[in-house]
Amino acid sequence: MTTNWNSLHDKVTHHLQTIYANVSLEKSVAELATELIESMGLANDHDIVEPKHHCNYWDEQDVMMITYGDSIMHGHEKPLFTLHRFLQTYCKNTINKVHLLPFYPYSSDDGFSVIDYSSVNEALGEWTDIRRLADDYGLMFDLVVNHCSARSAWFENFIKGEGPGSDFFFTASPDDDLSQVTRPRVSPLLRETPTQHGTKYVWCTFSHDQVDFDFSNPKVLLAFMQIIRLYIDKGAKVFRLDAVAFLWKIVGTTCINLPQTHEVIRLMRTLIEHVDPGIIIITETNIPNRENLTYFGNANEAHAIYNFSLPPLLVNTLVTGDCRYLKSWMMGMPPAQNGTTYFNFIASHDGIGLRPAEGLLDDEEISTLVHTMQNYGGKISWRASAHGQQKPYEINITLFDALQGTVDGPDRWQVQRFICAHAIMLGMEGMPGIYIHSLLGTSNDYEKVANTGQNRSINRKRWEYDELERLLDSPYSQHHRVLTQMSQLIRIRKAQPAFHPNATQFTLQLGNQLFGYWRQSLDRNQSIFCVSNISNEEQSVLMSDINLIGTDHWVDLISGETIEDDSGYLHLTPYQTVWISNHHHQ
């Protein structure tokens, strides 16, 4: 073995010493390091790629679509094949990355209760369908790392007390003090399970069908590194570490964001980047903002973190017509250092999480938001707080329906308000992720909620391809209007260097009805002033307040109109956005 291998071995050993400092292991950490490196296919020096540090493996061209494998169905065709056809037909020049939500065999939670990590759910297709998608799009795979299905072979072996998986699960005693454990659900934490070795109490952070792994057993870590290597071989370019904040548990603590969890992510990062430095890790940590930011580490943990505070703050801004909370949050967000970026989204397969708004919106503001969303057909998921009272955890509603009006009720600005939300997101620092149902302007699916009994189903419609095609090709449908306008915004965004995820961002102070920020390209050649009227009345802004430099030639990239900087005022219609730039890139 030579320098590269030895230096990687030293790094991995160091991670393992930190992770397992208080765990007695059967093997030495040096042996374990060797096993992990080999499980990633890095047996020799020539397999190992040296990563560059603080390198941005993304730019303004990157726009990700979030979707289930079966969001669009067509007769007996494999849904993954249908999805590829949809993308090639309707998203060719807009979307270049796809977050494929879990496409493995599963037993509940729409895929997040994985039965078998190494195969494709037959109802969706097979590995060749994944490969076809990976040939044309950068694919994000879910690594459901905290728990698996209670119907998995691993858990069946746990019950039998023998075979792979028999020692993979975290157990505790009902007598343990678990009062501090942070929970996203109201179900009991421990699941009483009869096994060959007597009754065990299995830890279930989410549901009793989702049994939590015990990462203090290095075999679990090894199994996951083998899964990661498989996914890389099958075309994964981005890994989403699902619910990773809960990964390490110590009885008597909160069991969230523990130091060992951060070190496991750093270890995964080290191993993955020596296989391919261009593979991106995104942590899915639906927690208050300050804690979320820690997952960047020192550009040695996640490359990207979900900007979880954005959805509730932006929806709140647009339904109240007041951007003060969004503005103060944005001013407090540190710029992501090179090699890291924010992953921005305003709708996803889950609802609008409210925990990330805690400390940013007060209780009264949250209560008004919840009430408004209920008026628009939204459902609310609850959690128990430390004092046992019920607190809203998540709003379940499609973004299109969430923006059908204001706190005063529905109005005629639904499409404009919806497009405004995306214009704000698309211009912001970070990489944008757009849920397929936002691209399609999908409304609440009450029928699916009735069929599944799950609130989240409201935003998980399955479209029939023929019906969708008819609606998208009809100029009068909301779906056609939304897709056309969204596609235009995305195409404009992708051509602007000032919209690079790491380009400079500065929040503008334009009062509470106008939300604005300034972006400047990394080479400083392009400036864009992004200003949105977030109210349902016309607003005017004094050109001198935006501070356009008189010698430059300014144009609004969205309307194509030239901006005369000495004209005094810029007038914006309700929910209009302008992207005023000194360099016109098309």
Q: Where are the domains of the chain?
A: 505-581
Q: What per-residue confidence (pLDDT) applies to 8?
A: 96
Tell me: is residue 142 an annotated ligand-binding position.
no
| pLDDT at residue number 83 | 98
Q: Residue 61 — pLDDT band, cuts 50, 70, 90? A: very high
pLDDT of residue 45: 86
Mean pLDDT of the chain: 95
Contact in structure between 125 and 69 (CB atoms under 8 Å): yes
Catalytic residues: 242
Predicted local distance difference test score (pLDDT) of residue 585: 62
Q: What are phi and psi of 441, to 5 degrees?
A: 60, 45
Question: Known binder of ligand: residue 473?
Answer: no
Which of 132-136, 238-242, 355-359, 489-493 is the least confident region?
355-359
Helix axes of 79-90 and 465-472: crossing angle, nearest 10 degrees: 10
Known binding residue 456? Answer is: yes
Find, among 133, 119, 117, 29, the residue nearest to 80 by Cα: 133
Question: Is residue 324 part of an annotated ligand binding site?
Answer: no
Give me the amino acid identity at 285: T
- Distance set, CA 290 to CA 334, 351, 468 (Å): 11, 21, 41
- List of residues 6+ apart from 392 with CB closer than 8 A: 354, 366, 370, 380, 381, 382
* Phi, psi of 524, rounded to the nearest 5 degrees: 65, 10
CA distance 169 to 152: 12
Please, which residues have CB within 8 angstroms of residue 477's CB and are 6 or more apart in sequence?
471
What pLDDT shows up at residue 289?
Answer: 84
Find out whether 363 is annotated in a ligand binding site. no
Does 70 score more than 80 pLDDT? yes
Q: What mean pLDDT do residues 558-574 have? A: 87
Q: What is the pLDDT of residues 260-289, one digit of tens each?
A: 999 999 999 999 999 999 999 999 998 888
Q: How confident is the model at residue 586 (pLDDT cuts 50, 70, 90)?
A: low
Query: 552 a known binding residue?
Result: no
For residues 456-484, give the mean pLDDT.
97
Residues of 82-112 as b/e, b for ≥16 C-beta within 10 angstroms? bbbebbeebbeebbbbbbbbbbbbbebbbbb
Is residue 109 marked as binding? yes
**Three-class DSSP category at 148:** strand
Query: Higher pLDDT residue, 44 or 446?
Result: 446
Distance between CA atoms of 262 and 300, rounded to whole angstroms? 10
70 is in an annotated binding site: no
What is the mean predicted confidence (pLDDT) over 346-352?
94
Packing angle, helices 414-427 and 310-320, rounded to 10: 140
**Which strands form 390-396's sheet, in the order they lie side by side?**
352-353, 390-396, 379-384
Please say if the pLDDT value at position 388 is more than 90.
no
The stretch 309-326 carries a mean pLDDT of 98
Instruction: State yes or no: pLDDT of 385 exceeds 90.
Output: no
**3-state class (DSSP) for residue 63:** coil
pLDDT surpassing 80 at residue 567: no
- Residue 584 pLDDT level (bands cut at 50, 70, 90): low
Q: What is the pLDDT of residues 512-541, one digit of tens each?
A: 999 999 999 999 999 999 999 999 999 999
How far is C-alpha 77 from the geometric centre of its chain's CA atoms? 28
With a pLDDT cut of 70, the percent of the chain lying above it is 98
| For residues 350-368, average pLDDT | 92
Q: Residues 6 or more apart from 18 whose CB is under 8 A from it?
A: 259, 260, 263
Give 565's pLDDT tier (boundaries 50, 70, 90). low
| CA dist., res. 264 & res. 276, Å (int) | 18
Q: Per-residue confidence at 339, pLDDT binned at 50, 70, 90?
A: very high
Q: What is the pLDDT of residue 11?
A: 97
The reported pTM is 0.96
Q: Which two tokens stand for residue 525?
A: 């050649």
Of 561 and 547, the structure prediction assigns the larger pLDDT to: 561
Residue by residue, DSSP assigns 425-461 as HHHSSSEEEEEHHHHTTPPP-HHHHHHH--GGGGG--
Give me the pLDDT at residue 2, please. 59
Split at pLDDT 50, 70, 90, the class of 563 is confident
Helix 478-494 / helix 465-472 crossing angle, nearest 10 deg: 80
Q: Is the pLDDT of residue 1 over 70?
A: no
Output the pLDDT for position 25: 95
Classify 383 in phi/psi space as left (phi over 0), alpha (psi -120 to 50) or beta.
beta
Closest CA to 229 of 482, 24, 38: 38
**Average pLDDT value for residue range 492-501:** 98
Q: Can you name the CATH fold of 505-581?
A: Immunoglobulin-like (2.60.40)
Taking Cα atoms as reference points, which of 210, 165, 168 lies closest to residue 189? Answer: 210
**Distant-in-sequence, close-in-space partners of 224: CB < 8 Å, separation ≥ 6:** 143, 145, 268
Percent share of the chain, pLDDT over 90: 89
pLDDT at 542: 87
> 87-123: per-residue pLDDT in tens?
999 999 999 999 999 999 999 999 999 999 999 999 9
The pLDDT of residue 400: 98
In angstroms, rounded to a whole number, what is the distance separating the alpha carbons of residues 106 and 74?
A: 22
